[in-house]
Amino acid sequence: MKGSSLMNSLSNSNIKHLKEVVFLSEGVQNLVSKDVDELLRIVAADKRAELKIFTGEVVRFGNRCKDPQWHNLDVYFEKQCRGLTRPKQLKAEPEVTMGQLLTLVQHTADLYRELSILDKLEQDDQQKNQGGTNSTPTPKGRELYLKQELKGQRKQVKLLKKKSLWSRSMEDVMEKLVDTVIYLNQQSKSVFESASSSGCPSMQHRLGPAGLALHYANIVLQIDSIVSRSSPMTSIARSSLYQSLPPDIELSYRSRLASFRVGKKLDVPAIKAEIEQILCWFSPVAINTAKAHHGFGWVGEWADTGSGGGRKPNGLNDINRVETFNHADKVSTEAYIVELLLWLNQLTNQLKIDADLGKVESNPDSPNFPNQLPSQTASTLPSEHDGDDLVHKDNHIILDRIEPREETIGDILVVDFDSGHATEKSLVSGVDGVQIEHVC
The predicted model gives 219-244 an average pLDDT of: 88
Nearest to 327 by CA among 210, 431, 248, 218: 210
How many Å apart are CA 290 and CA 273, to the nearest integer? Answer: 25
Highest mean pLDDT among 136-150, 168-182, 267-281, 363-377: 267-281
Based on the fold, state whether residues 338 and 314 are members of the same structural domain: yes
CB 231 within 8 Å of CB 310: no
pLDDT given at position 2:
84
How many Å apart are CA 62 and CA 57, to the nearest integer? Answer: 9
The predicted model gives 122-150 an average pLDDT of: 76
Cis peptide before 370 (omega within 30 of 0): yes
Based on the fold, state whether residues 182 and 223 are members of the same structural domain: no
How many Å apart are CA 48 and CA 192, to the nearest integer? Answer: 10
- The alpha helices in 130-267, defined as continuous H runs, are 140-163, 170-191, 193-196, 207-210, 213-228, 235-243, 247-257
330-350 confidence digits (pLDDT tens): 999 999 999 999 999 999 888
Based on the fold, state whether residues 332 and 382 are members of the same structural domain: yes
pLDDT given at position 311:
44
- Domain hosting residue 127, numbered range: 35-201
- The alpha helices in 64-169, defined as continuous H runs, are 73-82, 94-129, 140-163
CB 175 within 8 Å of CB 23: no
Angle at 6 (CA atoms; ends 26, 35), nearest 5 degrees: 30
Contacts of 114 (CB under 8 A, 6+ apart): 153, 156, 157, 160
Based on the fold, state whether residues 99 and 187 are members of the same structural domain: yes
CB 156 within 8 Å of CB 29: no
> Under DSSP, is residue 343 helix (H, G, I), strand (E, B) or coil?
helix
Whether 238 is covered by a domain: the verdict is yes
Write b or e for each residue in 352-368: b if 16 or more Cβ atoms lie within 10 A of its Cβ, otherwise e. bbeeeeeebeeeeeeee
- Is the pLDDT at 197 greater than 90? The verdict is no
pLDDT given at position 434:
41
How many Å apart are CA 287 and CA 55, to the nearest integer? Answer: 29
- Is the pLDDT at 168 greater than 80? The verdict is yes
Structural domain ending residue among the three candidates 201, 223, 247: 201
Whether 21 is covered by a domain: the verdict is no
Whether 262 is covered by a domain: the verdict is yes
Structural domain ending residue among the three candidates 167, 201, 235: 201
Whether 392 is covered by a domain: the verdict is yes
Please state, rounded to an integer, the average pLDDT across all residues of the chain.
Answer: 78
pLDDT given at position 364:
58
> Under DSSP, is residue 370 helix (H, G, I), strand (E, B) or coil?
coil
How many percent of the chain have pLDDT more than 70? 72
How many Å apart are CA 422 and CA 19, to the nearest integer? Answer: 35
Based on the fold, state whether residues 426 and 307 are members of the same structural domain: yes
Based on the fold, state whether residues 149 and 254 are members of the same structural domain: no
Whether 419 is covered by a domain: the verdict is yes
pLDDT given at position 387:
41
Based on the fold, state whether residues 218 and 192 are members of the same structural domain: no
Instruction: Please tell me which residue, 133 or 187, carries the higher pLDDT value.
Output: 187
How many Å apart are CA 107 and CA 326, to the nearest integer? Answer: 34
The predicted model gives 412-422 an average pLDDT of: 39
- Is the pLDDT at 13 greater than 60? The verdict is yes
pLDDT given at position 410:
40
Write b or e for each residue in 241-258: b if 16 or more Cβ atoms lie within 10 A of its Cβ, otherwise e. bbbbbbeebbebbeeebe
Q: Comparing 35-49, 106-120, 235-249, 425-439, which segment has the lowest mean pLDDT?
A: 425-439
The predicted model gives 216-228 an average pLDDT of: 94
Q: Which residues on adjacent β-strands are paired with residue 437?
A: 427
> Under DSSP, is residue 134 helix (H, G, I), strand (E, B) or coil?
coil
Based on the fold, state whether residues 214 and 196 are members of the same structural domain: no
Based on the fold, state whether residues 227 and 190 are members of the same structural domain: no
How many Å apart are CA 152 and CA 146, to the nearest integer? Answer: 10
Q: Comparing 20-24, 244-248, 415-419, which segment has the lowest mean pLDDT?
A: 415-419
- Is the pLDDT at 307 greater than 50? The verdict is no
Whether 330 is covered by a domain: the verdict is yes
Question: For the chain, how big is the Rg over CA atoms in Å?
Answer: 29
Domain count, the chain: 2
What's phi and psi for 239, nearest 5 deg?
-65, -40
Based on the fold, state whether residues 149 and 274 are members of the same structural domain: no
Structural domain ending residue among the three candidates 184, 201, 218: 201
Based on the fold, state whether residues 98 and 226 are members of the same structural domain: no
Based on the fold, state whether residues 334 and 400 are members of the same structural domain: yes
pLDDT given at position 223:
95
- Is the pLDDT at 109 greater than 90? The verdict is yes
Whether 17 is covered by a domain: the verdict is no
The H or E element that residue 325 is part of is none
> Which pTM value belongs to this model?
0.70
Whether 261 is covered by a domain: the verdict is yes
